[in-house]
């Protein structure tokens, strides 16, 4: 009888990550959805967190509102990059706690769309086997 493959990457040690291959996501606990996600204003518009009209306002003002609403946890003024807020357990606020699937998948930010081609270790995934 073949033993099931079990792996648990350390998010803080990209050297423990596995080379990405198609189908990995089906077996993973959504480890990438516990990492900080940097987004830009067009992402927030697509996600429905900022409307087209508000997008014309100063980014600092938008950031202040989104921080107060708990949607972002940080704003980089120099580069106009927002970091999405996470839950206390570090899960993305858009990750379903039961299914471990993205609740805004069709509207997800570019950072998520391009993972793992971009990130701390391009082409590798912080894969964690589902229990």
Does the predicted TM-score (pTM) go above 0.95? no
- Residue 124's pLDDT band, with cuts at 50, 70 and 90, is very high
| Cα dihedral 24, 30, 34, 37 in deg (nearest 10) | 70
Whether the bond into 116 is cis, omega within 30 of 0: yes
| pLDDT on residue 130 | 82
Contact 43, 109 (CB under 8 A): yes
- Please state the separation of Cα 41 from the chain's center in Å: 15
| pLDDT on residue 118 | 85
Q: What integer is the mean pLDDT of 6-29?
A: 88
Mean pLDDT lowest for which of 2-6, 62-66, 72-76?
2-6
Contact 81, 89 (CB under 8 A): no
Quick one: which of 79, 46, 76, 53 has its CA closest to 63? 76
- Residue 34's pLDDT band, with cuts at 50, 70 and 90, is very high
């Amino acid at each position: 009888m073949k033993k099931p493959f079990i792996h648990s990457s350390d998010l803080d040690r990209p050297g423990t990550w596995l080379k990405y291959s198609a189908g990995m996501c089906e077996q993973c606990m959504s480890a990438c959805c516990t990492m900080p996600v940097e987004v830009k204003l067009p992402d927030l518009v697509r996600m429905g967190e900022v409307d087209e009209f508000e997008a014309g306002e100063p980014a600092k003002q938008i950031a202040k509102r989104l921080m107060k609403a708990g949607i972002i946890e940080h704003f980089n003024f120099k580069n106009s990059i927002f970091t999405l807020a996470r839950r206390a357990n570090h899960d993305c606020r858009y990750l379903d706690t039961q299914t471990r699937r993205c609740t805004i998948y069709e509207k997800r930010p570019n950072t998520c769309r391009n993972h793992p081609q971009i990130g701390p270790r391009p082409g590798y995934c912080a894969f964690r086997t589902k229990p």
